Amino acid sequence: MKIIRRSVAIVVAAAVAGVAGITGAAADSSQRSGPAQSPARSSSASAEKADRHWRHGKPAIAGAWEKAWNSKDPKRLAALFTGDGRYSDHALGQTFKGRDGVAQWATVTKQFVGNAKVKVNSAFADDGQVAISWTFSGHLAGAPKPFSVPAATILRMRGNKIVTNDDYYNRADVLSQSGLPADTVFN
């Protein structure tokens, strides 16, 4: 569990730092004046390219991922992936491959976690990868109480499709908040 907590802490810290860095870079570039020179033009071209994939301060894929998870249709999440995509939930040690596997994972999650909800808090993209800081909430089947835990996801992209999705959150926190013993097994 310490390794997972540390990984999540590192990813969340990177997400916060990345968002702060992107915000700072945007503020810095908005204060510049005068004609663009070649290094600035190259930087500007990169910013324009990145901007096409952003909506309301976060990568568009993060918003689409959140909406797909909160949808009742598991194929909506699967459609975000490449045909050979992979979804891994590291807290549970589960990996699903291909769009059918992703749809299966979404279906199983919705069956096992009542009122499952994903809330993206922040996200940033760099060099074909997207880091997402989010909150995972719901009510485990048979558990006396609901849960709400911080989570982090790293997406590796191919164009505008997800190739890999790696979720990190603390399973012990989910169980504890749900009123279940920490050694509860999911299989």
The pLDDT value given to residue 39 = 39
Q: For the segment 26-79, what is each residue's pLDDT rounded down to a tens digit?
A: 333 333 333 333 334 334 444 444 444 444 568 999 999 999 999 999 999 999
SS3 34: coil
- Whether 49 is covered by a domain: the verdict is no
Higher pLDDT, 77 or 3: 77
Quick one: CA dihedral 74, 56, 161, 133, positive or negative?
A: negative
- Whether 46 is covered by a domain: the verdict is no
Nearest to 88 by CA among 11, 165, 154: 165
Which contacts of 5-8 are long-range, i.e. CB under 8 A and separated by 24 or more positions? 5/170, 7/90, 7/152, 7/168, 8/150, 8/151, 8/152, 8/168, 8/169, 8/170
User: Which tokens hold the place of 153?
Assistant: 């996801």
The pLDDT value given to residue 85 = 98
CATH number at residue 130: 3.10.450.50
Alpha carbons 186 and 80: distance in angstroms, whole number: 26
Beta strands in the chain (DSSP E): 54-55, 58-59, 81-89, 94-97, 113-126, 129-140, 147-158, 161-169
- Whether 40 is covered by a domain: the verdict is no
Beta pairing class for 94-97 and 58-59: unpaired
- Whether 19 is covered by a domain: the verdict is yes
Q: For the segment 12-23, what is each residue's pLDDT rounded down to a tens digit?
A: 444 433 433 333
- Confirm whether pTM is higher than 0.75: no
- Whether 167 is covered by a domain: the verdict is yes
Alpha carbons 84 and 161: distance in angstroms, whole number: 11
Name beta bridge partners: 95. 88
Beta pairing class for 161-169 and 81-89: parallel
The pLDDT value given to residue 26 = 37
pLDDT band at 159, cuts 50/70/90?
A: very high
The pLDDT value given to residue 179 = 97
Q: For the segment 74-130, what is each residue's pLDDT rounded down to a tens digit?
A: 999 999 999 999 999 999 999 999 999 999 999 999 999 999 999 999 999 999 999
The pLDDT value given to residue 187 = 53
The pLDDT value given to residue 183 = 77
- Whether 166 is covered by a domain: the verdict is yes
Alpha carbons 41 and 35: distance in angstroms, whole number: 10
Alpha carbons 49 and 43: distance in angstroms, whole number: 10
pLDDT band at 182, cuts 50/70/90?
A: confident
How many domains, the chain?
1
pLDDT at 148 over 70: yes
The pLDDT value given to residue 34 = 38
The pLDDT value given to residue 186 = 60
- Give me the domain span that covers residue 169: 2-29+56-178
> What is the arithmetic mean of pLDDT over 136-155?
98
- Whether 43 is covered by a domain: the verdict is no
User: Which tokens hold the place of 149?
Assistant: 């835990």
